[in-house]
Structure 1
């Protein structure tokens, strides 16, 4: 079960998505899926995409920008998605910031894996291979009002 989702709405500016994924093929797939969201008739939002190839980069890019959503791979080098999420949540709390929705992107689909993701502070889980409609639904569900 996911925590409180933001209701659907009309988008007046691009959705800023930070993608933390170390696999180049998965990066390209997610990037193309998000780019397709700007295609008329498919989804009501264009996106601005930032890319990190490990958890340390994800934390650094989170700190530099105002992201609407983070897609966080769980298994990455240097700092995995769990540690990166915990660090982002720690910094949000320390700074009195509104938490950015973080969606786990993982090949592990067991209930215990979902529990681990939510326990680390992620808001929801997308399983690999990611399906276009599931990705777009996550973006719609978790992006804040624009």
Structure 2
């Protein structure tokens, strides 16, 4: 079964995302900050990472950069990383692209949007 990594410091946001993902044929690992996400990313193969931008400690932009550096250093395949953010503007989109994100999901999450984006990125669908 395919694995996703869901990273958000807000427990309520993770709970909503997990509820929306329920029933899809994938396992979801959770992290509460960028450092924990990087450790999970280092230890596991994911088909998709959903990564909040604004978290204490290592934020999402820094975590994405670190994940891309790890992929390059270990010659790993490219894992799609989608930003989770409440901001939908050109500045954030540019920052995300420069950090190595493949797309953006705007909060508050909507079930159809999340399921469509996730299903389009998973090879099992």
TM-score (norm 2): 0.94
Q: Does 1:126 align with 2:105?
A: yes
Match of 1:136 in 2: 115
More helix by share: 2
- Equivalenced residue count is 125
Q: Does 1:101 align with 2:88?
A: no
Q: Does 1:112 align with 2:112?
A: no
Q: Does 1:87 align with 2:89?
A: no
Alpha-carbon distance between aligned partners in 1 of 2:110 and 2:124, rounded to the nearest angstrom = 24
Q: Deviations over 1:43-65 (max 9, x none)?
A: xx322010000000000001111
Match of 1:75 in 2: 54
Q: Which runs of 4+ in 1 moved over 4 A?
A: none
- How far is 1:94 from its partner? 0.9
- How far is 1:15 from its partner? 3.1
List gaps (5 residues or longer) in structure 1: 1-13, 39-44
TM-score (norm 1): 0.81
Alpha-carbon distance between aligned partners in 1 of 2:124 and 2:76, rounded to the nearest angstrom = 16
**Cα root mean square deviation, aligned:** 1.3
Any idea what SS the aligned residue of 2:46 has?
coil
List gaps (5 residues or longer) in structure 2: none
